[in-house]
Structure 1
Amino acid sequence: MDLLTIEDLMIEGKIKDINDLEIYCHLITTNAVVFAGIPAEAEEFAEKLINIFHLINFMKMLLSQESEEEITAVSSIFYDIITVESDRTILCSFPSFNIDIRFTLTIEYPEKSSPIIEVCGPSVSAEIKHNLKERLENICNDKLGDLILYDCITSAKEFIDVLKLEVKNEKEMIENGNVSSDSNKNKEELKIKVPEIYGTDTLTDRKSIFQAHVARINSKEEAMAVLETLMSNSKIARATHRIYAYRTYVTKNDKKLPLNDCADDGETGAGIKLQHLLQIMKIDNVMLVVTRWYGGIHLGADRFKHIQNKARQAIKESGIEKEQTTN
């Protein structure tokens, strides 16, 4: 049995990292048992491999411990905006702008990969979300191999601070009467009356909590006003997902056209399911929001069942379904 050294294999390019080494160790350990006809060489080599396995596991433990310590550190520093969702996932929330950033650390972080970054914000423009995510991914690419959660969160805070300043300046322009046509439009939007909002009780399954809210609307602006009002509630602002869908109409060239929209807010596929629910129930002029607080345990398809059931409950208990079926 011809046994190459680890150094030989690394020179030949067959072992490039810890994962390759672990696979090789497993194969050779198996062969050492199979080729027991050379007991001296097999036992000696197997003993060396056992030591290598211990080293691999120790290195993995150090990497995992390093990530956990980083999460603990940033959650202590940014305690007011950080929610630890699991041992490898944190949620960074900026409720004033309805923006959430989820960082998921992979097994190979930080040595070989960056965190998976999700930017959610149902009432924020796609351009803002794209710019923020691109900014954070650039930091990750520039500092691959380093712990970068602190740098990313600090950069995100700076990005949000700039947005706050822009909003403040625009507000001052409105108050001073020095406004453009766009500013005048925003001023009119500020006058939108928030519709009455009905909320259901909560449902809890494996520590995840679900709640639905519904309101009668007549425009997209009223739908967004409902969402902003809900977001002003600190509990809802800290939720993991705020899924919504609305159906209304807009008049163009004397024609009444349907206006529909939805958002997942990180719960992929949930928004379109709510939109479909409104469609099959034939519910119009309504804004539907289902909130989920993630409890750390994956629910699989059950989460969609709970979202749909809470949505139905809100539509029925609010009286909206009865109103529209009798009209």
Structure 2
Amino acid sequence: MAEVLNQETGADLQAQIEEVEALSSIYGDEWCVIDEASRVFCIKITCDSEEPKLTACLQIILPPGYPSTAPPIYQINASWLRGPERAKLANSLEELYIEHAGDSILYLWVEKIRDFLVAKSQSCEIGAQSEKVNLTAEEEVDEDVPDFSTLKINTENTHLFVAEAKDAEIPLIKHGDCITDRRSTFQPHLAPVVTPKQVKMILEKLYENKKIASATHNIYAYRIFCEEKHSFLQDCEDDGETAAGGRLLHLLQILDVRNVLVVVSRWYGGILLGPDRFKHINNCARNILVEEGYTTSVEEVSKSGAKPKRPKSKKTK
């Protein structure tokens, strides 16, 4: 049995080496080796259109079982890719993997993303998107894709596409109170989750709400505790609000909450908030976590650095 496993592992590694060599030859300087020993790579993808010239960075980890039994672990970095569009692209990559399960998939993924960039560039919606970006000038410094040659993948914060059985029902979604500051409004949403599939279902359900779908940013983070491995499956999404998803996930880690997804919607009001926007995002998340009983210690809550009001007592309104 061990001999068979070794043969399979060796075959997978050889397939990876051949695929990486081919991609390096095809894409040249766009292809970058981040950590060859850990099988971490990155490719910068640009559409061929003249204006606007959209770019995305696809970061990849090739696990030992790829391509025979395991999909690549990946992240897509593109500040213009938000909300429903990101979900649509993720679904198309998942479908490609399932359709070609067991085969090398990276070339197909890269070209699928490139096609998506071309379609986005040609879309009449790009003008509205550009205007939205210009309005949210506080994120303007982060609009360019970072130097892909310096990027690292945090394996705890990557999304693994694995075909899973559909959950019977969408978990109950709770909506928290809004925080408004200088015409920007922040609202949290929360749902219990035990599988990544449930996370996906909840996000799709939220985007069915036109108001939530129209938010400038929908930042989210989740943590799922895996009993068998005694470890956490966790991920986050900035949705264009650079670093907000990571900060939100860090809050969940500090509070040591588990099996929960928190989404914070922000509607930009035209006035720059600077760092205060991160404070409001975390305050929203913390408030709904406390309200729904995921954390009750005010002392633990305060470790995040924000200054929420302490609940005086439980009174009926």
Give the TM-score normalised by structure 1. Answer: 0.46
Largest Rg, 1 or 2: 1
Give the TM-score normalised by structure 2. Answer: 0.47
Higher share in helix = 1
